Structure 1
Amino acid sequence: MTQLDTAVTGQDGANRRDTAAGTWRAGIRQAIRIASRPDPWKRGPVVAALALLLGLVMLLHAQITDRGGLGSLVETFLPWFGLFIPVLLAGALWRRSVPAVAALLLPVTVWLSLFGGLLGDKSHPGSDLTVASHNVGADNPDPAGTARDLAASGADLLALEEIAPQAKPLYEKELAKVYPYHTVQGTVGLWSRLPLSDTQPVDIKMDYGPLADTKPVEVKMAYTRALRTTVATDHGPLTVYVAHLGSVRLLPRNGFWTASRDRGAQALGEAIAADPSERVVLLGDLNGTVDDRSFADITSQLHSVQDAAGDGFGFSWPTKFPVARIDQILVRGVQPESSWVLPATGSDHLPVAAGISW
């Protein structure tokens, strides 16, 4: 018995020594892993740098060079830069990086300061006048149907842009049932329930191309893409501009080409600045957002109804997946009450509408 007890005791001691040694080795390995693991304050430097870069781009967007239209391109899609924030947040949490999470405070703060006001509904019930604008599209397959849809919108003033010559009689016929007054200047027009007067085209410096030297009257009318008119209301005259500024293009050599649009925006801004009217409404496809620096001559005088009284961003183009609000309703001297986007028609733009009061 004594020999057996001694053997068992020796075996238990050996097992304990082996267990202790194993535990000691495991502890050393764990300590090495912990020591070699980056400190939480040192993890994710790339994610942190990207977060700071994103915040600085949004904060200093006005300082970005516009060579090749880069500045305008960034400002056109500036709200969408917010999509990078949750992506970077996921990367920061995956890396368990304290600096990256802290760095994200910059883009979050900047984005909210720029666009946070558009996240809620700022509309108010009731208005004195409803206005609407729609680029109906030169290739619209159903202009008559589009006209009927717009007539049913309840708008008191309806501006149309990109009216094709062959479609003009259809719009006039369908809209005459609701609007007794209208004017068409070139490819833009205004239909109204109220009398119009003092209508005239506005020169927004469109490029006549090879016809630039001749500029006959019919060519000028074909290239007329802006008008000014006066609407007689119970509260006095209301000056209305309808405009379709030049298109923009993404070109391999020139980048984001905006020359025609920018020239038109400057000319339109000058016309509005020279207008003594107290109450002004601008309706139209400006081919750009109000965040774009190119519209400073206009936005310094007129204010967006969507910013003042809209619900959300009010994106209007393209119809299938709207990513930008390039169809605008801008005002001065009247109170925006509401702003919304109307259902799609046969155009690649969505119609936009607003309620205004005196």
Structure 2
Amino acid sequence: MERADVRGRPWRRGGALAVSAVLTAALLAFHRTVPNSPGGLGSLLESFLPWLGLVVVVLLALALLRRSAVALVALLLPVAAWTYLFGGLLLPGPQPGAGDLVVVQHNVSDENTDPAGTARALAEAGPDLIALQELVSPALAVYERTLAADYPYRTVRGTVGLWSKHPVTDVRLLDIKPRGITENWSRGLRAVVHTPQREVAVYVAHLPSVRVRASGLASSWRDESAALLGRAVAAEELRTVILMGDLNGTVDDRALDPLTARLDAAERGVAFSFPAAFPVTRIDQVMARSATVRHIRSLPATGSDHLPVVARITPH
């Protein structure tokens, strides 16, 4: 009897760990069911959703320490959920194609003390297009001067800009300003880039910042601006669309549904971009319609509090 009881113990101990594993799996698989009010709890969870993988690692270590068979079996659930959601991002991307576009997205920061070095670092990645946010004087003139030789086509509206190796036409300002902002605020543009393969509608945007407060996530302006940008993309007549911007949200955040419902995010790559000192999330995004964002990765730090991201896009 004693020997049988000892053999049965691994299935009895670790019940709390098993419950924690099931709850973690539920959060991963059903994160959209977490209410977003009060305090934007759902969006907050989705902003850091990949990091639930660390919870799985901790639970695994504790299960092994406790020698809990039931906890180890339960951990298969969050492992499967995390792998389904994020495992594909870790796979290597396909080989570059002849018609691919390489683009760089970067919030350069209005406090950047080395705009020339930042511009050179972005150009060294060899992109076809460079989208920048937080462009202010006198740094703007430095970006224009430094990038002029390799990127003869450029357009700036407010604090966002686009530099291109290919001709740019039909530029217009995007009205994505939330109603509650009364001061001058211009953070969006739309342009047509004439690539060797086709015309592409390129959108560059910088959505309002999100703040984490004691009362929760303050994101109403960001959410409103995302909805306005989504409407503009939905009304775009050109077939192929590329959106680059500091969206102050991850592609898992339901607040960006007006965009992610219409545009595809990267198939491969994680590319955490913020904060630059210890990046834990990617709020700098590259998305596309009638094109596939094959791979996205972050570049080394510049003088900004964001890391640049570079993506490879294959038009359909």
Q: Which has the larger radius of gyration?
A: 1
Q: Deviations over 1:120-144 (max 9, x none)?
A: 1123223432211110011111112
Aligned 8 A contact 1:131 1:355 in 2: yes
Of 290, 297, 317, the match for 2:251: 290
Moved more, 336-345 or 161-170: 336-345
2:24 to 51, 54, 71: 54
Contact in 2 for aligned 1:202/1:226 (Cα 8 Å): yes
Aligned counterpart in structure 2 of residue 330 of structure 1, from 258, 265, 287: 287
1:172 pairs, out of 115, 130, 144, with: 144
Q: Evaluate the alpha carbon distance shift between residue 153 and residue 269 of structure 1 in structure 2; reply closer, same or farther with a 3 A threshold.
A: same
The one-letter code sitting in structure 1 at the alignment partner of 2:244 is L
1:252-331 equivalences under 5 Å are: 252-253=214-215, 255-304=216-265, 306=266, 308=267, 310=268, 312-331=269-288
Q: Would you say the 8 A contact 2:107–2:134 is kept in 1?
A: yes
Matched, 1:250 2:194: no
Of 73, 77, 81 in structure 1, the residue corresponding to residue 52 of structure 2 is: 81
Asked if 1 retains the 8 angstrom alpha-carbon contact of 2:286 and 2:293, the reply is: no
Task: Single out whichever of 320-329 and 118-127 deviates more from structure 2.
Answer: 118-127
Preserved CA contact (<8 Å) 2:151 2:163: yes
**Could you report, residue by residue, the CA deviation over 1:190-241 in whole angstroms, capped at 9, with x for unpaired residues?**
01111111111111123564xx3xx6xxx2xxx1101000111222211000
CA deviation string 1:256-276 (max 9, x = no partner): 111111111111001101111
Paired residues for 1:136-215 under 5 Å: 136-206=108-178, 209=181, 212=182
Is the CA contact 1:250–1:256 (under 8 Å) kept in the aligned structure 2?
Answer: yes
Q: Counterpart of 2:296 in 1: which secondary structure?
A: strand
Question: C-alpha displacement at 1:37, in angstroms?
Answer: 9.8
Q: 2:79 aligns with which of 100, 108, 122?
A: 108
Q: 1:249 to 1:105 in 2, by over 3 A?
A: same
- Contact 2:180–2:221 under 8 Å retained in 1: no
State the Cα RMSD in Å: 2.0
What's the CA shift for 1:146? 0.8
The 10-residue stretch of structure 1 (239-248 or 104-113) with the greater mean CA deviation from structure 2: 104-113
Matches within 5 A, 1:1-80: 39-67=9-37, 68-80=39-51
Verify the 8 A CA contact 2:47 2:253 in the aligned structure 1: yes
Determine the C-alpha separation between the residues in 2 that align with 1:175 and 1:72.
37
Say whether 1:239 aligns with 2:201: yes
Rate the CA distance shift 1:36–1:191 in 2: closer, same or farther, 3 A: closer
Aligned pair count reads 313
8 Å CA contact 1:124–1:337 kept in 2: the answer is: no
Question: Partner of 2:309 in structure 1?
Answer: 352
C-alpha distance in 1 between matches for 2:293 and 2:256: 20
- Deviation, structure 1 residue 98: 2.2
The 8 Å contact of residues 126 and 355 in structure 1, kept in 2 or not, is answered as: no
Indicate the structure with greater helix content.
Answer: 1
Q: 1:329 is aligned with what amino acid?
A: V
State how far apart, in whole Å, the 1-side matches of 2:299 and 2:248 are.
18
Pick from 54, 65, 70 the counterpart of residue 94 of structure 1: 65
- In structure 2, the gaps of 5 or more residues are none
- Given that residues 240 and 290 in structure 2 are in contact (C-alpha distance below 8 angstroms), is that contact kept between their aligned partners in structure 1? yes
Partners of 1:356 and 1:196 lie apart in 2 by: 18
Q: Give % identity.
A: 49
Name the TM-score, length of structure 1 as normaliser: 0.82
- Compared CA separation, residues 32 and 235, structure 1 to 2 (3 A): closer
Instruction: Show the counterpart of 2:190.
Output: 228
Cα distance, 1:164 vs structure 2: 1.9
Kept in 1, the 8 Å contact 2:177–2:186? The answer is no
Matched, 1:342 2:304: no
CA deviation vs aligned residue, 1:315-355 (integer Å, no higher than 9, x gap) = 11111221111111101122434432222211111111122
Amino acid at match of 2:58: V
**Structure 1 contact 124–338 (Cα < 8 Å) conserved:** no
Specify whether residues 338 and 111 from structure 1 end up closer, same or farther in structure 2 by C-alpha distance, changes over 3 A only: closer
Once the two structures are TM-superposed, the CA of residue 156 in structure 1 deviates from its matched residue by 1.4
- Report if aligned partners of 1:127, 1:355 keep a CA contact under 8 Å in 2: no
Unmatched tracts of structure 1, length 5 or more: 1-30
Aligned mates of 1:55, 1:344 — CA distance in 2:
34
TM-score, structure 2 normalization: 0.93
Q: What amino acid maps onto 1:89 in structure 2?
A: L
What is the DSSP-based 3-state SS (H/G/I as helix, E as strand, rest coil) of the residue aligned with 1:227? strand
